[in-house]
Amino acid sequence: MQPSSPTRLYHNPACSKSRGALELLRERGIEPELVAYLERAPGAEELRGLLDLLGLPARALLRSGEDAYAELGLDDPALDEASLIAAMAAHPQLIERPLFVHAGRAVIGRPPERVLELL
């Protein structure tokens, strides 16, 4: 699955920000492909593609408040991009959400209104 497909939301239905972003899109008649990334974790290649679209380093996509962040020692500044990406691929709860991909661009939907920047 390529992250650059037209309209996709990496979604966690348990997250209020993710639900809010989906609601904003649907209010505008947009029905994105939903990627339940906790059920089907994106692999390292897909994450690299998303980071390229976001224009961000891997660390910017990490949820530092998750238990796995501390358990894996991800606060170590010596960790390289590949290590951080591998951690997110193995522990998808570490991936910031929601991620909205539209027309070859991507944005982290925090706050949810940020998804509207791509429309």
Q: What are the pLDDT digits (tens) for 16-51?
A: 999 999 999 999 999 999 999 999 999 999 999 999
The confidence score (pLDDT) of residue 5 equals 56
For residue 2, is pLDDT > 80?
no
Q: Is 15 a catalytic residue?
A: yes
For residue 80, is pLDDT > 80?
yes
Kindly state the tokens that stand for 95.
């991936």
The confidence score (pLDDT) of residue 3 equals 44
CATH, range 7-118: 3.40.30.10
Q: In the chain, where are the structural domains located?
A: 7-118
Burial 70-86 (b: 16+ CB within 10 A, else e): eebebeeeebeeeebbb
DSSP symbol at 70: H
| Marked catalytic residue, from 4, 15, 63, 93 | 15
CA distance 30 to 89: 28
User: pLDDT tens across 81-110, in order?
Assistant: 999 999 999 999 999 999 999 999 999 999
